[in-house]
Amino acid sequence: MSTPAQPRPPGILTGLLVGILIALPVIAIFFALNALVALPALPINVMDWLPNNLPNDLLNFGKQTMADVLIALNIGRLDQVAKIAEGIIGTATLFGLIVLAIVAVFGIARTQKGPRAGTLTGLIVGLALGVLLVLMYASLPLVQFERANALLIDSAYIMGMLVGSGLIAGLIYDRLARLPETSSEIAASAEQLNRRQFLVRVGGSTATLTVAGAVVSLLRSAGAVEPVEEIVAPDSPTPSGPVEVVGMSDDFTAAPGTRSEYTPLEEHYRIDIVSRPPEIDAATWALSMTGLVNNPQAFTLDQLRAMDSVSQFVTLSCISNSIGGDLISTTKWTGVKMQDLVALADPQPEATYLKITSADGFDEYVNLDLIREDERIILAYAWDDRPLLQKHGFPVRIYIPNHYGMKQPKWITHMEFVPEWEEGYWVRRGWSASALVQTTSVVDTVASDSVFEQDGTTYVPIGGIAYSGSRGISRVEVSIDEGGWLPATLKSPLSELTWVLWRYDWPFAEGAHSFRVRTYDGNGGIQRADVTPQRPDGATGIHRVTRVL
């Protein structure tokens, strides 16, 4: 006959299992309710909090490591894959926090006495985690911009989810702790079976909630399509004016496999400081221009569209683009000259810089003298004759020639005329203060499947792009197998602000070969051959590919 024994409290490993079983559906519910009723997707908010609060060296190391890994894996466009990776990081971080909190519930409850030790501990731990994450959530600039009126509801929702998670963990602990334990081996086996059956039931509920939440989130996100509205804009500028170039040709056929000269809108690269783009209501949005001005302004989107507009083809590149990378794109921009807007505000003599602030918390400073000197600087409200997509900066973003994208805010909400320069968002994080575009060239393709015969010789088309900001391109050269540099043929660019396509027809030779490319800017300056990393001033070096033909 068995004899009663003291109940054995659940261990830390059991707490880890319970933590996983609770965290999974909680994450799924966060995503599902965000998709259904726009409540916070807390995993995404966690990811947005990390870059603004991690030490700069750690942040930059993490970003570079992630980029290097994604490039090495070659599983898709870097900007798109990076967004997925950011979502995974945010989800994993919140998942880990919830699991650790529940492990703490089990660890602390083991030291307490009473039939409700787990419930009380779970309530306290859940409350502590909830307060921590509510404070994190409320500190996000994007939340302050978009959700200020709903912050109380959002906070209550987050608290409810996390306190509820702790409470459920505590109840499970108490339920497991009450299962009878005896000294009999048979009874002990029965106890283990009871616990196992209970955890299986918990696991079944977890699977149901997790799958349901994931399905709802996926269905809602799959059906989300940004509305498209066409904007009637002035005729686009003609190709760039005369430049002393070598090999320029209007009768040009790109080598098969060369990227499109004009980037389809859905393929234009995108790098942001937030995991999802801000949602801005055009009906209530207004661009304010304040500070050291005689005539403060507040422009609605309709007012900006009604002003004299300009359109220009523009190549934009990211300072974190690697040599030969895909964080560079070309499209048509339409907007208002910044010179016109500055003139309407009438800056005071003390104003020397324009501080630009965005809905996502981004900020940057632009020299007013630069705006006065360059009429190509525009406040754009359209790409490709369509309003800016939400993900690309709706309602307005600025374009500044010859600079990387890190100096060109989108989702702009405010401009302030200030007396002196300060470090902008990325400069504070160790990136270039000037962010001038580095001259670069890329081998996009060695089109071995598109060989052709001419005068008894077989040729392989080789092609790619060259870019030097607003400085233009005057020459592109190709080197085969580390040999001499040979001139390539260039296509007339869409504008003085875009990349140039190049092509070189190489006499075919069987075997393994290397292909290098270099370029000269419009002033005759050759691109840097020394290899430097993306941070702080943008990558430099000669692009090289190898092929076995």
Domains belonging to the chain, first-starting first, are 12-222 (no CATH), 256-429 (3.90.420.10), 440-548 (2.60.40.650)
In the predicted structure, residue 246 carries a pLDDT above the cut 70: no
Kind plus residue range of the DSSP H or E element containing 95: helix 78-109
Tell the residue number behind the tokens 């090495």, with chain if given: 72
Cβ distance 270 to 86 under 8 Å?
Answer: no
Residue 3 confidence (pLDDT): 52
Q: What is the mean pLDDT of the chain?
A: 88
Cβ distance 171 to 119 under 8 Å?
Answer: yes
Q: What is the mean pLDDT of residues 42-68?
A: 83
Q: Write the pLDDT tens digit of every residue in 431-445.
A: 999 999 999 999 999
- Partner residues linked to 415 by β-bridges: 289, 356
CB atoms near residue 509 (< 10 Å): 11
DSSP designation for 300: -
Tell the residue number behind the tokens 């108490």, with chain if given: 174
- Exposure of 97 by Cβ count < 10 A (0-12 exposed, 13-18 middle, 19+ buried)? middle
What pTM was estimated for this model as a whole?
0.83
Residue 240 confidence (pLDDT): 38
Phi, psi for residue 17 in degrees, rounded to 5? -65, -45
In the predicted structure, residue 4 carries a pLDDT above the cut 60: no
Q: Write the pLDDT tens digit of every residue in 256-311.
A: 999 999 999 999 999 999 988 999 999 999 999 999 999 999 999 999 999 999 99
Q: Which of 131, 138, 55, 121 is nearest to 97 (CA)?
A: 131
Among 167-181, 315-329, 372-386, which stretch is predicted with the lowest mean pLDDT? 167-181
Residue 464 confidence (pLDDT): 99
**Confidence class for position 331, pLDDT limits 50, 70, 90:** very high
In the predicted structure, residue 183 carries a pLDDT above the cut 70: no
Cβ distance 417 to 368 under 8 Å?
Answer: yes
Q: Which residues of 198-217 are buried (b: 16+ CB within 10 A; e: fewer)?
A: ebeebeeebeebbeebbebb
Among 62-71, 135-144, 153-162, 163-172, which stretch is predicted with the lowest mean pLDDT? 62-71
Q: Write the pLDDT tens digit of every residue in 106-143.
A: 999 999 988 899 999 999 999 999 999 999 999 999 89
Distance CA 470, CA 495 (A): 9
Among 84-93, 422-431, 473-482, which stretch is predicted with the lowest mean pLDDT? 84-93
In the predicted structure, residue 73 carries a pLDDT above the cut 90: no
